[in-house]
Amino acid sequence: MAERVFMKGTEAIAEAAVRAGCRFFAGYPITPQNEIPEYMARRLPEVGGSFVQGESEVASVNMLYGAASTGIRAMSSSSSCGISLYSEGVSYCASARIPMVYVNVQRGGPGIGAIQPAQQDYLQATKASGNGGFRMIVLAPDSVQECVDMVYEAFDLAERDQNPVLLLTDGVMGTMMEPVVLPEMRSDEELKAFREKFMPRAIVGHPLGQQAFCRPGSVGDGQEQENIKAAAMYETWDKDVRVEEYMMDDAEIVFAAYGISARISRAVLRELRKQGIKAGMIRPITVSPFPYDAFRNLDFDRVKGIIDVEMSIPAQMRWDIDFAVQNRVPVKEVLRSGGQLLTNDQVMNGAMEFIKEVL
Amino acid sequence: MERNMMIAGFGGQGVMTMGKLLAEATSQATDLNVTFFPSYGAAMRGGTSNCYVVISDEPIGAPVSYNLEDLVVMNGPSLRKFLPNLKPGGTLFVNSTIVTEEVERDDIKIVKAPATQMAIDINNPRALNVIMLGVYVGATDAVPEEVIVKGIEHKFQAKPHLIEPNVDAFKMGLELGRQQK
């Protein structure tokens, strides 16, 4: 096995992206994701790539649009209020079916929020990252290792679908250091094979009709035809739904959490198990497409309640849980926000209150 | 078993380096899970800088705790600010050169070490954090001492002349920590 190294989440994301073949990065500084562009500024020239610090988020996302439409693997990153400024560009990329990857290292919100970690952008990330009703695969890692594995894979998914992919993480995972095993550097041959399989195109040098569809709209029924194609592609994502069902075989109390909240819930439910409480967890790994079936198929005779743990006030993933659960069991929220970090103890206290009520 | 700790002090006392050295050395030399989480954001000159380290043989939940097993304070403001976060029965490590005030809690264990003075005495004033790390490891056995020695060797591999003085400083702290175990 490859050696494990001790890395900060943001730097690990950047290195994994380079190893996935990312050769273009544009971004604009914002805490707590600054180490991604900082790392890329140093690292990309070493592998023949290009780094641009844009004059703004709006410029950066449009540079990403341009770079990715040439077929190169391109990425950007920002945090919360910076991501809001990406909305237009991301929507344009989705419209033009451009395979790009971007990372949201979430901080407090709304507005300028707080520079401390939060999970305040769930609904934006999963439901409407821009205008026009497009969808994206949104991956939600719960460790530095998953940050690495997911950003590595995100480029493949983006190219497969010719669609943007979002890595939704937060300031805790971005800032903390953990042991991680880095993937192999993708070879030029591998990347070429990907491009040829999914993107037999380049803007320069190809005759009309074979060139990239890189305009955001079109005349006549062109837009509707494109929307129909995109909708059909979204329908294929049932196979891409990913969920961790942890200790769920006999669970009576079910934690529902993604990202940083999920790893905290996992530690807490292990403690609850030691006290004889049958707790489990459903962790959406893809928050879009959301694993509705994991909730729909719960044994509602056995499950006494769901604890939704989020670093967001008000709760946001709750919408998806409620959509699947339809009031068949009570749902308790354990939330922090505004840069206040969730700890094991706080989740344990919230869980114990609820358990006394429902068990 | 999970062990969580916080190190806090003035900017410049090597608080982050101490936490990172402990965490990275543990990551490199053991199979344990470990996280390092630094404070970041708005800070005031003369205020506090701090970081959290969690070491566990199980997957780690939050890398931050307000119910600490161990708290290392290198200056007075850190003691006042973070002492309430130390759990009853926890251990407080005090840099007693700088922190001269009495600790007003009797439900915790206190390990005192004049790390700043010791570092000055060996003509290596910047090594106070490595001395304090020695005290911590000596008193807790959080990780075997070889783990940190290897970590120091790794950290200073580009400046090999700094390895020996830092290992010496670490072992000096280790000895003092063991005496107060």
Interface test with B, best of A175, A176, A341, A349 (most B CBs within 10 A): A176
Flag whether residue A128 sits within 8 Å of chain B, measured between CB atoms. no
CA dist., res. B122 & res. A132, Å (int): 67
For residue B150, the domain's CATH number is 3.40.920.10
* Structural domain range at position A80: 4-239
State whether residue B38 is helix, strand or coil: strand
The predicted-structure confidence for B109-150, as pLDDT tens digits, reads as follows 999 999 999 999 999 999 999 999 999 999 999 999 999 999
User: Does residue A37 sit in the same domain as residue A129?
Assistant: yes
Strands B49-56 and B33-38: antiparallel
Which residues are bridge partners to A245 per DSSP? A282
More confident residue, A105 or A226: A105
For residue A59, pLDDT over 90 is answered with yes
pLDDT surpassing 60 at residue A217: no
Shared-domain flag, residues A297 and A182: no
Task: Please name the residue of chain A whose CA is at the shortest distance from the CA of residue B64.
Answer: A343
Query: pLDDT digit string (tens) for A120-129?
Result: 999 999 999 9
At A1 the pLDDT is 52
* Average pLDDT value for residue range B16-37: 96
Q: How close B127 gets to chain A, by Cα (Å)? A: 23
Residue A219 pLDDT level (bands cut at 50, 70, 90) = low
Q: Does B180 touch chain A (CB under 8 A)?
A: no
Contact A158, A165 (CB under 8 A): yes
* Chain A interface disruption, residue of B1, B3, B17, B37, most A CBs within 10 A: B37
pLDDT score, position B36 = 98
**Torsions phi, psi of A177, nearest 5?**
-105, 140
The alpha carbon of residue B121 is apart from the nearest alpha carbon of chain A, in Å, by: 33
Query: Tokens 């939600």 correspond to what residue?
Result: A140
pLDDT range class, residue A338, cuts 50, 70, 90: confident
**Residues of chain A contacting residue B60, judged by C-beta atoms under 8 Å apart:** 263, 267
Q: Which of A1, A169, A178, A346 to mutate to test the interface with B (most CBs of B within 10 A)?
A: A178
In the predicted structure, residue A188 carries a pLDDT above the cut 80: yes
In this prediction the pTM is: 0.95
The CATH number of the domain holding residue A315 is 3.40.50.920
> Mind listing the pLDDT tens digit for each residue in A144-179?
999 999 999 999 999 999 999 999 999 999 999 999
Residues A261 and A167 reside in one and the same domain: no
- Is residue A84 located within the same domain as residue A119? yes
Determine the Cα angle at A147 with ends A142 and A148, to 5°. 140
Q: Are residues A300 and A317 in the same domain?
A: yes
Calculate what percentage of chain A has a pLDDT beyond 70: 93
> What confidence tier does A203 reach under pLDDT thresholds 50, 70, 90?
low
Verify that A78 and A220 share a domain, yes or no: yes
Q: Is A15 helix (H, G, I), strand (E, B) or coil?
A: helix
- pLDDT value, residue A3: 84
CB contact under 8 A, B20 and A177: yes
| Shortest Cα distance, chain A CAs vs residue B32, angstroms | 9
**How many domains in chain B?**
1
Overall domain count for chain A? 2
Residue A314 CB-half CA count within 13 A: 4
| Residue A289 confidence (pLDDT) | 98
Q: Which of A239, A266, A299 delimits the end of a domain? A: A239
Picking from A84, A55, A264, A234, the residue whose alpha carbon sits closest to that of residue A157 is: A234
CA distance B162 to B176: 22
- Per-residue pLDDT band for A209 (boundaries 50, 70, 90) equals low
Give Cβ neighbours of residue B45 (< 8 Å, ≥ 6 apart): B11
| Domain of residue A91, CATH code | 3.40.50.970
Please indicate, yes or no, whether residues A26 and A97 belong to a single structural domain of this protein: yes
Say yes or no: A168 and A46 in one domain. yes
> Predicted confidence band at A201 (pLDDT cuts at 50, 70, 90)?
low
- Last residue in a domain, options A239, A268, A302: A239
Is the ipTM beyond the 0.90 threshold? yes
Residues 51-90 of B with CB under 8 A from A: 58-67
Using 50, 70 and 90 to split pLDDT, how confident is the model at A198? confident
Rounded to whole angstroms, the Cα distance separating A286 from A168 reads: 10
**pLDDT for res A346:** 95
Q: Work out the average pLDDT over B173-180.
A: 97
Residue A260 near residue A170 (C-beta atoms within 8 A):
yes
Mean pLDDT of chain A: 93
Give chain B's mean pLDDT.
95
Averaged over A202-224, what is the pLDDT? 58
Structural domain range at position B13: 2-179
Q: Which residues of A240-277 are buried (b: 16+ CB within 10 A; e: fewer)?
A: ebbbbbbbbeebbbbbbbbbbbbbbbbbbbbbbeeeeb
- Residue finishing a domain among A213, A239, A265: A239
- Does the pLDDT value for residue A202 go beyond 70? no
Backbone phi, psi, residue A4, to 5°: -90, 140
* Residue A245 scores a pLDDT above 80: yes
Average pLDDT estimate for A102-115:
96
A25 CB-contact burial (10 Å; exposed 0-12 / middle 13-18 / buried 19+): buried
Q: DSSP state, A117?
A: B
CA atoms within 13 A on the CB side of B180: 20
pLDDT value of position B45: 72
B53 contacts B19 by C-beta, under 8 angstroms: yes
Average the pLDDT over A231-239 and give the result: 97
Band (B11; pLDDT cuts 50, 70, 90): confident
